[in-house]
């Protein structure tokens, strides 16, 4: 899957914005949004938030987890744990990316946040790589991937599925060969 499609899915997530205009509820197909009243924060889908921001119609409110202390704690937890820990949002990377790209000045301590989120990402990707190594070497036929986010899965998708497909093919050919040779022996 193209990363932009993962982003597309992430854009469905709700984020809070403070609009600078007042408007009644908007009845979208994907659910109602609003009512907007200037200065009062409300949740809207990320795609709408970005669009409003681009048109200077709102300010972003950083999600609760987009905070230096929360992220530092998260980073520590991730570093301490052998397994993947649950993330505050299933699309944490995409949301951070989009919010910081379009509203750097709305997010307090944007640079530190960017660094922390990237740190967490790096930790998790490193973990992912090493567990893939273990998984492939073990020859197991399935694995549980709880708490991995879609973006993270997507980075290894092509490589991992292709590799496993090949391995499976090789395995099934060898097992067929053995049955074949068995039957010949009879």
Site stretch for another protein (CB under 8 A), options 58-66, 69-77, 119-127, 156-164? 156-164
**Closest CA relative to residue 66, chosen from 20, 6, 124, 112:** 112
Binding mask 77-106 for another protein (x = CB under 8 A): -----------------------x---xx-
18 near another protein, rule: CB under 8 A: no
**Which residues, at least 6 apart from 153, have a Cβ–Cβ distance to it below 8 Å?**
145
Give the C-alpha separation, 33 to 145, whole Å: 34
For residues 33-72, which are near another protein according to CB under 8 A?
A: 33, 47-48, 51, 54-57
Q: Cis ω on the peptide bond leading into residue 35 (within 30° of 0)?
A: yes
Tell me if 30 sits within 8 A of 12, measured CB to CB.
yes
Give the C-alpha separation, 85 to 87, whole Å: 6
Comparing CB distances to another protein, the nearer of 75 and 114 is 114
Residues that bind another protein (CB under 8 A): 1, 8-9, 11, 20-21, 23, 26, 28-31, 33, 47-48, 51, 54-57, 100, 104-105, 107-111, 114, 141-148, 150, 153, 157, 160-161, 164-165, 168-169, 172, 175, 178-179
């Amino acid at each position: 899957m193209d990363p932009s499609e993962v982003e597309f899915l992430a854009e469905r997530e709700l984020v809070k914005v403070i609009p600078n205009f007042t408007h009644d509820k908007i009845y979208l197909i994907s659910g109602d949004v609003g009512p907007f009243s200037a200065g009062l924060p409300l949740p809207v889908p990320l795609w709408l938030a970005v669009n409003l921001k681009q048109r200077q119609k709102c300010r972003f409110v950083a999600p609760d987890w987009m905070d230096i202390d929360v992220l530092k704690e998260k980073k520590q937890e991730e570093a301490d744990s052998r397994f993947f820990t649950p993330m505050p949002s299933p699309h944490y990377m995409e949301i951070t990316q989009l919010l910081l790209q379009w509203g750097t000045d709305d997010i307090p301590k944007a640079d530190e946040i960017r660094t922390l989120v990237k740190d967490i990402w790096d930790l998790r990707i490193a973990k992912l790589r090493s567990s893939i190594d273990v998984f492939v070497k073990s020859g197991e036929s399935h694995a549980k991937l709880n708490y991995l986010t879609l973006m993270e899965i997507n980075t290894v998708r092509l490589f991992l599925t292709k590799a496993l497909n090949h391995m499976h093919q090789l395995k099934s050919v060898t097992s067929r060969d053995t049955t074949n040779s068995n039957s010949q022996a009879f």
